[in-house]
């Protein structure tokens, strides 16, 4: 795991991508140097009544500039506060946190399939940049607001699904993948639990391994509070229970190691 640190970062820029989806770029050299695809950071509010940090997945890492790109949805008062930040503002950040995607398991010559659903789409962009070989990228949206979709086109074939059929295939990311032939050697996914359950089932059916990044409400982000525990298929060697912490041991797991 990367070495985590807490810093006061400077906001480089912020803009609204669509609706309640915002892109925040921060100068966070110490964190960017250590970060990898699939990890996240915790952002702290300045409002005194909001003590718990908000976990935000990392969308992009620029190690040369020392910048992180964070794409998030306003989901409550904390993220609403973040959306008011402008260039030059400061924010306390801890990271990088968690274990990211196991990119070393994707070898040259393999066909990787990346699935992103809703706010699970942003972390797949950095992954698409760093994975070798052929890539199919399947993105699921609510409607025609296909944020970030164009950027993925530089890294592989992009398939789109939407709940209402306003963009791409009407239905789920699995519907779009199946319509395109459902080919691949290794699957990567981030999104809501029903989507991940479907991808796990499809991976088992096709005898393909899948890495799943779990979205979960996290309180501390460092494994201390046990608020984000999920069930595992194997007992933990220390506690002898079938539990693991998403923020600490995850958020990325192989599908066969967790229960959804």
Residue 210 has pLDDT above 90, yes or no: yes
Lowest mean pLDDT among 23-37, 41-55, 82-96, 117-131: 41-55
The pLDDT of residue 149? 98
Place domain 216-260 in its CATH homologous superfamily. Answer: Dihydroorotate dehydrogenase, electron transfer subunit (2.10.240.10)
| Greater model confidence, 112 or 237 | 112
Residue 115 · residue 195 · CB < 8 Å: yes
The pLDDT of residue 89? 98
What does the alpha-carbon distance between residue 186 and residue 111 come to, in Å, rounded to a whole number? 7
Q: Is 221 left (phi over 0), alpha (psi -120 to 50) or beta?
A: left
Residue 161 has pLDDT above 80, yes or no: yes
**Confidence class for position 107, pLDDT limits 50, 70, 90:** very high
What does the alpha-carbon distance between residue 206 and residue 208 come to, in Å, rounded to a whole number? 5
Tell me the pLDDT of the chain averaged across its residues. Answer: 91
Q: Report whether CATH 3.40.50.80 matches the domain 103-215.
A: yes
- Residue 204, H or E segment: helix 193-206
CATH architecture of the region 5-97: Beta Barrel (2.40)
Residue 26 · residue 70 · CB < 8 Å: yes
**Confidence class for position 238, pLDDT limits 50, 70, 90:** low
The pLDDT of residue 215? 74
The pLDDT of residue 4? 83
pLDDT tens digit sequence for 1-53:
567 899 999 999 999 999 999 999 999 999 999 999 999 999 999 987 677 89
Residue 166 has pLDDT above 70, yes or no: yes
| Domain regions of the chain by residue span | 5-97, 103-215, 216-260
Residue 219 has pLDDT above 60, yes or no: no
Residue 115 · residue 187 · CB < 8 Å: yes
Q: What do you get for the CA distance between the two ends of the chain, in Å? A: 24
């Amino acid at each position: 795991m990367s070495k985590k640190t807490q810093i006061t970062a400077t906001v480089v820029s912020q803009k609204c991508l669509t609706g309640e989806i915002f892109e925040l770029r921060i100068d966070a050299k110490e964190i960017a140097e250590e970060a990898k695809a699939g990890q996240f950071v915790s952002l702290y509010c300045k409002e005194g009544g909001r003590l718990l940090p908000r976990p935000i997945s990392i969308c992009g890492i620029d190690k040369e500039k020392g910048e992180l790109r964070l794409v998030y949805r306003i989901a409550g008062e904390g993220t609403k506060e973040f959306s008011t930040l402008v260039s030059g503002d400061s924010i306390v950040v801890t990271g990088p946190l968690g274990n990211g995607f196991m990119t070393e398991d994707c070898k040259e010559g393999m066909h990787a399939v990346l699935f992103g659903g809703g706010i699970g789409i942003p972390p797949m962009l950095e992954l698409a940049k760093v994975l070798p070989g052929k890539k199919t990228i399947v993105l699921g949206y609510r409607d025609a607001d296909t944020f970030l979709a164009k950027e993925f086109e530089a890294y592989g074939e992009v398939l789109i699904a939407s709940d209402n059929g306003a963009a791409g295939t009407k239905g789920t990311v699995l519907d779009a993948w199946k319509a395109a032939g459902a080919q691949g050697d290794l699957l990567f996914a981030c999104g809501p639990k029903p989507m991940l359950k479907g991808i796990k089932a499809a991976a088992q059916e096709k005898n393909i391994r899948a890495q799943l990044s779990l979205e979960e409400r996290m309180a501390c982000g460092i494994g201390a509070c046990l608020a984000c525990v999920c069930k595992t298929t194997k007992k933990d060697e220390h506690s002898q229970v079938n539990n693991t912490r998403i923020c600490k041991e995850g958020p990325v797991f192989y599908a066969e190691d967790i229960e959804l």
